[in-house]
Amino acid sequence: MSSNGIGRLTGKVAVVTGAGSRGEIIGNGQATALLFAREGCKVLLVDSEEENLSRTFRKISDQGGEASFYVGDVSNELDCQKMVELAVNTYGHLNILHNNVGVGGSGTVVEVEAKQWDHVMDVNVKSMMLTSKYAIPEIASSGGGTVINISSISAIRPRGLTPYTVSKGAVIALTKAMAVDHAADKVRVNCILPGPIFSSMTSVNMTEEVRELRRISSPMGIEGSPMDIANAALYLASDESRWVTGISLIVDGGVSLMSPQR
């Protein structure tokens, strides 16, 4: 973990969706926004809950970073348009879109209600299409940049969370398609597949027993931290990865390498 920023994103502007956290436990989007800001990036924080957003905003301000926020719903097209306009109007250009928003979705196809299925697809997939639809032209006209989509190892290792698994699989396909479509616009598109991360989202109602199970499910025997996702996002957001596009970067302590215990 880098302790002090060394300006790896100096001069860049990012939109980070799902940048809030529900409480004191840090979220993946929050960690990413904090790290981007620490590395010199100006960040527009986006979330549907103002209270959650303000926690992240305060942390960035406290560490001397530059950020502003927008309360909106990324599954709503108008909000996505406004979000991108705000970033460009505030900071003059846009280089990075970090699509972190997502919701869980459990059950089999037999169990799941069609309405719930649609909701998961709207929040996890359609949102990334909508944010990208408005962000990509701005990133391209800013001289290029990157889009980072958060998928999940659930996409490649299903286990009873079928709507979630399918939505995260779609994120991988969307990432590759966007990478191919927009390479000529100098927009790189990659995704991250987090494993068992102890975060603002996953910690809700998690018993110590379940937490321990998640820890030992990885060959490394440890759970991940949102900072692990943030570090991967930083690499993909920075110019260090300027020839990297269309990839799925797995950050899971090796969980997806092994055949499951059955």
Partner 1 sequence: MRLQNKVSIVTGGASGMGAAESALFASEGSNVVVADMKIEDGMEVVDEIKSTGGNAIFMELDVTDEERWEVVVADVLKQFGTIDILVNNAGISGSYQPDIMSLEAYDRLMNVNSRGVFLGMRSVLPTMCESGSGSIVNISSISGIVGQSYVHMGYNASKGAVRIMTKSAAVQYAEKGIRVNSVHPGIMPPMVSSVGTADPETRKIMLEDVPMNRVGLVGEVANAVLFLASDEASYITGAELPVDGGLTAR
- What amino acid positions are annotated as catalytic residues? 164
Residue 141 CB coordination number (10 Å): 12
Judged by CB under 8 A, does residue 39 bind partner 1? no
State which residue, 75 or 218, has the beta carbon closest to partner 1. Answer: 218
When binding is defined by CB under 8 A, the residue of 61, 133, 160, 180 that contacts partner 1 is 180
Judged by CB under 8 A, does residue 92 bind partner 1? no
Judged by CB under 8 A, does residue 222 bind partner 1? yes
Residue 257 CB coordination number (10 Å): 11
53, 45 Cβ separation under 8 angstroms: yes
62, 29 Cβ separation under 8 angstroms: no
Q: Contact region for partner 1 (CB under 8 A) — 20-28, 41-49, 69-77, 232-240? A: 232-240
Q: How far is CA 255 from CA 194, 215, 224, 235, in A?
A: 10, 10, 11, 21
Judged by CB under 8 A, does residue 258 bind partner 1? yes
Q: How far is CA 209 from CA 10, 101, 104, 117, 253, in A?
A: 42, 27, 20, 29, 19
Judged by CB under 8 A, does residue 28 bind partner 1? no
Judged by CB under 8 A, does residue 53 bind partner 1? no
DSSP secondary structure letter of residue 197: B
Judged by CB under 8 A, does residue 252 bind partner 1? yes
Site for partner 1 in 186-205 (CB under 8 A): 188, 195
Place of tokens 């529900």: 22
Site for partner 1 in 146-175 (CB under 8 A): 175
> Please, what is the minimum distance in Å from the beta carbon of residue 217 to partner 1?
12
Judged by CB under 8 A, does residue 235 bind partner 1? yes
Site for partner 1 in 111-150 (CB under 8 A): none
Question: What SS3 state is found at 145?
Answer: strand
Q: How far is CA 248 from CA 112, 149, 169, 239, 244, in A?
A: 28, 9, 11, 18, 10
| Binding positions for partner 1, rule: CB under 8 A | 1-2, 175-176, 179-180, 183-184, 188, 195, 218-222, 224-225, 228, 231-232, 234-235, 240-247, 249-254, 256-258
